[in-house]
């Protein structure tokens, strides 16, 4: 089990909209990914995190650097796979483990 990974994500925040709307939006993005859309392109267009400008790239991070729900999902992914929707206090995420 690695102690450090690299991942990207797409965030739909629940600060500026209801949880229901944010969840609907992230599910729509997940459907686009399932249809073959490019993760980085969708992150640039839809992520509400500063990392969106970098295609969602969060760089490398170690265990303990992310909130528990995000960390559990990210470290549980195989390289080059994308998570199901992950809920945190920030909103709803899709995580793409890149390394």
Which residues lie below 8 Å from residue 40, measured CB to CB, with a gap of 6+?
Answer: 8, 55, 56, 57
Nearest-angstrom CA–CA distance, 36 and 59: 23
Task: Tell how far CA 29 is from the center of its chain.
Answer: 11
Third-level CATH fold of 4-97? Chitinase A; domain 3 (3.10.50)
Map out the domains of the chain as residue ranges.
4-97
This prediction has a pTM of 0.96
Tell me the pLDDT band of 2, cut-offs 50, 70 and 90.
confident
Percent of the chain with pLDDT over 70: 100
What's the mean pLDDT in 13-37?
A: 97
Answer yes or no: is pLDDT of 84 > 90. Answer: yes
């Amino acid at each position: 089990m690695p102690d450090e990974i690299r991942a990207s994500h797409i965030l739909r925040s629940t600060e500026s909209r209801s949880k229901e709307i944010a969840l609907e939006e992230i599910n729509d993005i997940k459907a686009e990914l399932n249809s073959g859309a490019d993760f980085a392109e969708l992150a640039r267009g839809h992520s509400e995190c500063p990392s969106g400008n970098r295609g969602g790239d969060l760089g490398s991070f170690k265990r303990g650097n992310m909130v528990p729900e995000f960390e559990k999902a990210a470290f549980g992914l195989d390289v080059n796979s994308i998570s199901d929707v992950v809920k945190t206090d920030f909103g709803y995420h899709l995580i793409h483990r890149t390394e």
